[in-house]
């Protein structure tokens, strides 16, 4: 089953204590699509400007990502500049230029309207709702968001949350959305808004998954060299949905395994700037790290 | 096999956003001993003042903790006052009065000199070394420490670290001790000092265990109500060593299970002020939560 992803494609400039990436490929949909492409076919709906380099188009195409939904508009591509300190959990935005992304209105090509798997990457929740209207009867839907939409469009966001199958947000956002500092209480409150399944990302500390009264806790893979955390969350979501779409196994077990595949993919992304690590990745390495994950968390008895 | 614990017994006054505990039972050795007492016999070496209430003696005795090594000196008991904000991961010390603890020189009663399991709770590393001299041939030794000793007595502390089997510290301390912000690099550096086995506590995010090239990651149990994190780390260490002493299983598997029992015990302690939750705890509840831990972390496949 292929996945439809709607989100941003960007040009990033990122500084971390370990180096710099200037004018590199970025954007939530880019990370998502590339990560998911290791597991299944991906259809991308996004916008770029006239300046968007052909090499990035070539790369996405080489990953078998269908770009018929990628529109090229006059003007410049969305640009983001950010910096990370030694605490790599928090990005400091230095500059955001929305450019062609400012007037982005996602139009879903007719051949995608029957998509079974749909991910709404971080965009305006009103646009996320418009996309949901355009996709007829998706089997699995997921969305991400950010602090900006939580404070500026809480009502539209809550509508999205109650309509998708998986909400994927980070712990700061979960606290902001609910006003609860305790994460379990925050999760229960978000379930109260209507979230059927909730994945809370905790950066280097891993992920908590809430569904009904059940909780699944997955650690992040402990890495000796983290160069650039940009895109880790989107890469996680891409691996997660990609694996679900590949197996079609929506049982609690299947979802948990998908979460671990998502964590595996995120652990690769942060090992280099931009999508560089994913460019050299192969499926054998993904499986090997999944095995390490299992070994790292196993304890049994009683 | 019984455990020998050397550390502090204190009177705490703690404030959290959820309430207050004034002049309640505290101290690293107290939490450790009480937690370990659910798994095995415990011998306690510590000091209290003339003011130490009989009810606390009665409680420790009711847990079958042998108090022949608890000396009562003229003067007042060690007192600690602290406060936690909504971020319960960090304690703010308001006042410390060492009192009789200031001149504490642990003397190990002769009947304890053959102890098989020894935990050096957080005290001056020079005193930890003195204790190691007095215990003939322990099978398993563990130690804890704190930021104060890392900055004031790094050399003595490194000696302790190279002599014990398990170092149990929190992530901030691991970074401080090594100057490494990356936790895996910090762990490798501590192994370089001579730590055979290293347990890094990450508060609400759980625990990482490093031994040789192997890593074990255990999440913390997600709780809806955390009232007072005081003593969580010592309670963890008590459950960990208590279970090891009970089973004698020092394999990687046995150690991992002990780490989860430690996490289970810590998850109970934070549910109420002081040792109140441990006072009403029974072994069936411990087993039930261990089962929940297994269910919460299970994923398999591949």
Reported as a single tens digit per residue, the pLDDT across B263-284 is: 999 999 999 999 999 999 999 9
* Residue ranges with strand state E in chain A: 3-6, 10-16, 19-26, 42-48, 65-72, 79-84, 91-97, 117-120, 140-143, 166-170, 197-201, 207-211, 214-218
Residue A255 to chain B, least CA–CA distance (Å): 9
Q: How far apart are CA B242 and CA B63, in angstroms?
A: 13
Contacts of B219 in chain A (CB under 8 A): 206, 217-219
B interface residues, A as partner, C-beta within 8 Å: 86-87, 181-185, 188, 202, 204-206, 208, 214-219, 222-226, 253, 256-257, 259-260, 287, 290-291, 294-302
Best mutation target, B39, B219, B260, to test chain A (most A CBs within 10 A): B219
Q: pTM to 2 decimals?
A: 0.95
Q: How far apart are CA A148 and CA A150, in angstroms?
A: 6
Contacts of A271 in chain B (CB under 8 A): none
Residue A233 maps to a domain: yes
Over residues A134-156, the mean pLDDT reads 95
Q: Tell me whether residues B182 and A218 touch, CB distance under 8 A.
A: no
pLDDT for the residue numbered A18: 87
A interface residues, B as partner, C-beta within 8 Å: 86-87, 181-185, 188, 202, 204-206, 208, 214-219, 222-226, 253, 256-257, 259-260, 287, 290-291, 294-302
Residue A87 scores a pLDDT above 80: no
Q: How far apart are CA B80 and CA B27, in angstroms?
A: 9
- E strand or H helix at B29, and its extent? helix B28-36
Q: Tell me whether residues B206 and A219 touch, CB distance under 8 A.
A: yes
Residue A142 maps to a domain: yes
Q: Which of B234, B272, B282, B300 is catalytic?
A: B234
Residue A158 maps to a domain: yes
Tally the C-alpha atoms within 13 A of residue B18's C-alpha that lie toward its C-beta: 15
Residue of A205, A223, A260 lying closest to B299 (CB–CB): A260
Using DSSP's 3-state secondary structure scheme, residue A231 falls into coil
| Those residues with Cβ within 8 angstroms of residue B302's Cβ, 6 or more apart along the chain or in another chain | A257, A287, A290, A291, A294
Q: Tell me whether residues B302 and A287 touch, CB distance under 8 A.
A: yes
Q: Tell me whether residues A296 and B202 touch, CB distance under 8 A.
A: no
Residue A302 maps to a domain: no
Q: How far apart are CA A72 and CA A80, in angstroms?
A: 18
Q: Tell me whether residues A215 and B296 touch, CB distance under 8 A.
A: yes
Q: What is the CATH number of the domain that holds A72?
A: 3.40.1190.20
- Judge contact between B5 and B35, C-beta under 8 A: no
Is residue A88 very low, low, confident or very high in pLDDT (cuts 50, 70, 90)?
confident
Over residues A167-192, the mean pLDDT reads 95
Residue B87 scores a pLDDT above 80: no
Residue A90 scores a pLDDT above 90: no
pLDDT for the residue numbered B111: 93
Residue A230 maps to a domain: yes
Residue B1 scores a pLDDT above 90: no
Sheet with A91-97, edge to edge strand ranges: A19-26, A10-16, A79-84, A91-97
Residue B295 scores a pLDDT above 80: yes
Q: How far apart are CA A5 and CA A14, in angstroms?
A: 24
Share of chain B above pLDDT 90, in %: 94
Helices (H) and strands (E) in chain B, counts: 11, 13
Q: Which of A144, A234, A272, A300 is catalytic?
A: A234
Residue A38 scores a pLDDT above 90: yes
Residue B256 to chain A, least CA–CA distance (Å): 6
Residue A59 maps to a domain: yes
Residue B302 maps to a domain: no
Is residue B48 very low, low, confident or very high in pLDDT (cuts 50, 70, 90)?
very high
pLDDT for the residue numbered B302: 85
Lowest mean pLDDT among A32-36, B83-87, B160-164: B83-87
| Those residues with Cβ within 8 angstroms of residue B298's Cβ, 6 or more apart along the chain or in another chain | A256
Is residue A91 very low, low, confident or very high in pLDDT (cuts 50, 70, 90)?
confident
Is residue A143 very low, low, confident or very high in pLDDT (cuts 50, 70, 90)?
very high
Over residues A92-109, the mean pLDDT reads 94
Residue B89 scores a pLDDT above 90: no
Residue B70 maps to a domain: yes
In this predicted model, what pLDDT tens digit does every residue of A116-133 receive, in sequence order?
999 999 999 999 999 999
Over residues A134-155, the mean pLDDT reads 95
Over residues B115-121, the mean pLDDT reads 97
Q: Tell me whether residues A253 and B301 touch, CB distance under 8 A.
A: yes
Q: How far apart are CA A262 and CA A16, in angstroms?
A: 23
In this predicted model, what pLDDT tens digit does every residue of B241-251 receive, in sequence order?
999 999 999 99
In this predicted model, what pLDDT tens digit does every residue of A109-118 receive, in sequence order?
999 999 999 9
Is residue A217 very low, low, confident or very high in pLDDT (cuts 50, 70, 90)?
very high
Q: How far apart are CA A106 and CA A100, in angstroms?
A: 12
Q: How far apart are CA A175 and CA A153, in angstroms?
A: 16
| Those residues with Cβ within 8 angstroms of residue A162's Cβ, 6 or more apart along the chain or in another chain | A193, A194, A195
Q: How far apart are CA A11 and CA B175, in angstroms?
A: 34
Q: Tell me whether residues B300 and A294 touch, CB distance under 8 A.
A: yes
Residue B127 to chain A, least CA–CA distance (Å): 34
A81-115 exposure pattern, b = at least 16 Cβ within 10 A, e = fewer? bbebeeebeeeeeeeeeebbbeebebebeeebeeb
Q: How far apart are CA B226 and CA B269, in angstroms?
A: 9
Residue of B181, B215, B291 lying closest to A296 (CB–CB): B215
Mean of pLDDT over chain B: 95
Best mutation target, A189, A198, A302, to test chain B (most B CBs within 10 A): A302
Residue B17 scores a pLDDT above 90: no
Q: Tell me whether residues A302 and B296 touch, CB distance under 8 A.
A: no
Number of domains chain A contains: 1
Residue A184 scores a pLDDT above 80: yes
Is residue A23 very low, low, confident or very high in pLDDT (cuts 50, 70, 90)?
very high
Is residue A258 very low, low, confident or very high in pLDDT (cuts 50, 70, 90)?
very high
Residue B125 to chain A, least CA–CA distance (Å): 29
Q: How far apart are CA A8 and CA A169, in angstroms?
A: 17
Count residue pairs from A and B with Cβ separation < 8 A.
101
- Judge contact between B43 and B52, C-beta under 8 A: no
Is residue A52 very low, low, confident or very high in pLDDT (cuts 50, 70, 90)?
very high
Instruction: Determine whether A51 is an active site residue.
Output: no
In this predicted model, what pLDDT tens digit does every residue of B144-178 receive, in sequence order?
999 999 999 999 999 999 999 999 999 999 999 99
Contacts of B208 in chain A (CB under 8 A): 222
Q: Tell me whether residues B208 and A218 touch, CB distance under 8 A.
A: no
Over residues A262-291, the mean pLDDT reads 97
- Residue B255: closest CA among A143, A299, A159: A299
Q: What range defines the domain where residue B77 resides?
A: 3-297
């Amino acid at each position: 089953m292929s996945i439809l992803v709607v989100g941003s494609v960007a040009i990033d400039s990122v500084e971390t204590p370990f180096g710099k990436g200037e004018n590199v490929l970025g954007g939530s949909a880019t990370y998502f699509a590339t990560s998911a492409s290791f597991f299944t076919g991906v259809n991308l709906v996004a916008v770029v400007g006239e300046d968007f380099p052909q090499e990035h188009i070539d790369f996405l195409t080489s990953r078998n990502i269908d770009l018929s939904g990628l529109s090229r508009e006059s003007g410049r591509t969305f640009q983001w500049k950010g910096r990370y300190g030694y605490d790599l959990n928090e990005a400091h935005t230095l500059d955001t230029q929305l450019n062609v992304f400012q007037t982005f209105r996602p139009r879903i090509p007719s051949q995608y309207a029957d998509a079974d798997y749909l991910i709404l990457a971080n965009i305006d929740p009103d646009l996320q709702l418009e996309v949901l209207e355009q996709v007829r009867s998706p089997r699995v839907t997921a969305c991400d968001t950010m602090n900006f939409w939580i404070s500026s469009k809480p009502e539209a966001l809550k509508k999205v949350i109650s309509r998708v199958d998986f909400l994927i947000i980070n712990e700061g956002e979960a606290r902001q959305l609910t006003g609860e500092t305790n994460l379990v209480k925050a999760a229960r409150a978000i379930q109260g808004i209507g979230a059927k399944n909730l994945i809370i990302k905790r950066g280097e500390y891993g992920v908590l998954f809430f569904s009904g009264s059940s909780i699944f806790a997955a650690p992040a893979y402990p890495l000796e060299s983290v160069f650039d955390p940009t895109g880790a969350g989107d890469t996680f979501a891409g691996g997660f949905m990609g694996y679900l779409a590949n197996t079609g196994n929506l049982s609690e077990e299947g979802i948990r395994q998908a979460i671990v595949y998502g964590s595996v993919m995120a652990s690769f992304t942060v090992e280099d700037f931009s999508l560089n690590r994913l460019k050299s990745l192969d499926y054998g390495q993904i499986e090997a790290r999944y095995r390490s994950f299992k070994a790292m968390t196993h304890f049994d008895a009683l």
